[in-house]
């Protein structure tokens, strides 16, 4: 997102990404938005009538695992290609276009997988304007288009795909056999942007400024003069959602922050001081450290710990909400809405539909009791995490919160392998603070998705400190890189940075005598240990 004059971008005609079962459907939507164009993912089961009813500015047909000839494979209604809407097919979507338009797709025995050289026959065409005549593309196909549909101009070929790209500027129909959305296609983003800006004629006004202005208007219209409640965790999503609603309705919003004692060093203070100072939000802080520690006493099983933390959080939030609601009702201004930081991947993965600042009447949030009935406001439900960060910066949320690494709801409770105690929490906080400080000093904050520090509380290792034998705890560093946390790889942190972290932890945290590095990807490992 970049800055631009305000427009009703959230109500503009979207670019629809029709998902044929691709593992990259969300990634396509992200890449479209990187071109400052709004996009939404819709299932391939959506009828042509339903697609056109959304008044799309353009349509992208994703890849998919099927052969166009396989029984039960998702089909493409030729009427969609005759509706005058710009269409761009990728991989399976490309072959579906070929078939629907009367071209030929065959199993030639020349499958292509992975990086493949493509020869561009016209570097002045709509898709390939300004690009080299040979480029590396990412292929994943068994079938190949051998004959282009009538009226289509073939503009690229590979050794296994004689028709690897085609274009029809008159009908505004385009397609490529490869995956331009992945980084391995060296000019993939340029091809996609050429379709959006040149082929479909879109202006590219999906910007942080525009998004904030539109969402503020929508939230203000929805809430009116009613009161709003928000459970503020201090994480990116809830913080940005709260800041957005506060911008829209001011002191009609009350945030409840439950300090369960499982936060990292300085985080509670950061929310209480920096966030409130930057946004002016009305904040109620509940100190529930002792309640959570008492409930977790003697518990080592990770699933049981999660359930206890979730249960206690709901109990504390319930009481705080009752207090806020009761006070508001006495003032004659009952609370009717509850803010939640739902993001677009949550919506897509749960099979949810599209929309703007969505309102669900009487939604029972996270186990809230029947006597706390709210309408749910989800102002961020059309945004990806990176877009939420940009919106947060636009709203003036402190950078320390905006760029905060994802942090699990159960907090440090699931980063202690074993029973959670006050002493163990202090050990882990100290080690975690050192790791975070050194990674920040090395300028690695933006490169690392997150770096859990795990205390192996039920494990002891022999060490030597101060010429004496020690029997201390090991801690694990788990730096990972990811785009959406669905998959992840361990981050190759420079050895000198790792050495500083290890030296400082073993010197400054006396209970720890060993630091180890987790070099497992996801899958097979998860990001968190518990």
Active-site residue set: 91, 179, 181
Strands of 169-293, DSSP E: 173-176, 227-231, 253-259, 282-287
Tokens of 28: 């396509």
For residues 506 and 434, is the Cβ–Cβ distance under 8 A? no
Residue-by-residue DSSP string for 423-486: HHHHHHHHHHHHHHHHHHHTT-TTT-SB--EEE-TT--EEEEETTEEEEEEEEEE--EE-SSSS
- Residue 134: how many other CB atoms lie within 10 Å: 11
Query: Would the CA dihedral through 64, 68, 73, 76 be positive or negative?
Result: positive
Tokens of 490: 């361990």
Tokens of 3: 């800055």
Q: Across-strand partners of 261?
A: none
Nearest to 233 by CA among 14, 441, 408, 38: 408
Please state the separation of Cα 403 from the chain's center in Å.
Answer: 13
Helix (H) / strand (E) containing 60 = strand 58-61
Backbone angles phi, psi at 453, to 5 degrees: -110, 125
In sequence order, the 6+-apart residues with CB closer than 8 A to the CB of 28 are 17, 22, 39, 41, 60, 62, 90, 181
Integer Cα distance of 265 and 512 in angstroms: 17
For residues 87 and 115, is the Cβ–Cβ distance under 8 A? no
Residue-by-residue DSSP string for 261-319: S-SPTTHHHIIIIIIHHHH--EEEEEE-HHHHHHHHTT---HHHHHHHHHHHHHHHHHH
Tokens of 368: 């809230």
């Amino acid at each position: 997102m970049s800055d631009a004059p305000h427009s009703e971008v959230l109500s503009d005609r979207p670019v629809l990404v029709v998902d044929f079962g691709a593992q990259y459907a969300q990634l396509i939507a992200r890449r479209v938005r990187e071109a400052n164009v709004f996009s939404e993912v819709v299932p391939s089961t959506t009828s042509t009538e339903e697609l056109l009813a959304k008044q799309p500015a353009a349509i992208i047909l994703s890849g998919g695992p099927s052969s166009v000839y396989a029984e039960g494979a998702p089909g493409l209604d030729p009427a969609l290609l005759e509706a005058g809407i710009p269409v761009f097919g990728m991989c399976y979507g490309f072959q579906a276009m070929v078939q629907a338009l009367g071209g030929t797709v065959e199993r030639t025995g020349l499958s292509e997988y992975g990086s493949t050289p493509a020869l561009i026959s016209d570097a002045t065409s709509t898709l390939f304007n300004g690009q080299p005549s040979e480029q590396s593309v990412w292929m994943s196909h068994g079938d190949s288009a051998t004959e282009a549909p009538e009226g289509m101009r073939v503009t690229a070929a590979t050794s296994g795909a004689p028709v690897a790209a085609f274009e029809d500027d008159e009908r505004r129909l385009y397609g490529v056999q490869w995956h331009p959305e992945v980084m391995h296609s060296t000019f993939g983003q340029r091809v996609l942007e050429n379709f959006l800006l040149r082929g479909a004629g879109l202006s590219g006004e999906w910007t942080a400024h525009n998004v904030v202005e539109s969402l503020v208007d929508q939230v203000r219209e929805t809430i009116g003069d009613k009161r709003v409640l928000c459970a503020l965790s201090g994480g990116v999503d809830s913080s940005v959602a709260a800041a957005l609603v506060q911008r829209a309705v001011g002191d009609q919003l009350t945030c409840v922050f439950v300090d369960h004692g499982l936060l990292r060093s300085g985080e509670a203070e950061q929310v209480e001081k920096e966030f409130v100072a930057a946004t002016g939000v009305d904040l109620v802080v509940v100190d529930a450290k002792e309640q959570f520690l008492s409930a977790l006493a003697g518990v080592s099983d990770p699933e049981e710990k999660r359930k206890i933390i979730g249960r206690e959080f709901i109990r504390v939030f319930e009481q705080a909400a009752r207090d806020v609601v009761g006070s508001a009702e006495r003032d004659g201004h009952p609370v009717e809405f509850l803010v939640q930081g739902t993001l677009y991947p949550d919506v897509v993965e749960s099979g949810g539909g599209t929309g703007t600042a969505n309102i669900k009447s009487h939604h029972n949030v996270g186990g809230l009791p029947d006597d706390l009935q709210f309408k749910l406001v989800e102002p961020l439900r059309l945004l990806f995490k990176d877009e939420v960060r940009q919106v947060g910066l636009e709203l003036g949320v402190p950078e320390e919160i905006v760029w905060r690494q994802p942090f699990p709801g159960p907090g440090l409770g699931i980063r202690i392998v074993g029973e959670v105690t006050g002493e163990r929490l202090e050990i882990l906080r100290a080690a975690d603070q050192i790791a975070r400080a050194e990674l920040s000093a090395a300028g690695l904050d933006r490169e690392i998705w997150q770096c859990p520090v795990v205390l192996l509380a039920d494990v002891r290792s022999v060490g030597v400190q101060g010429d004496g034998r020690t029997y201390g705890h090991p801690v694990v560093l788990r730096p990972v890189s990811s785009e959406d946390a669905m998959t992840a790889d361990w981050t190759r942190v420079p050895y000198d940075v790792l050495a500083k972290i290890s030296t400082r932890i073993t010197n400054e945290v006396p209970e720890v005598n060993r630091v180890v590095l987790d070099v497992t990807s996801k899958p097979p490992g998860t990001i968190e240990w518990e």
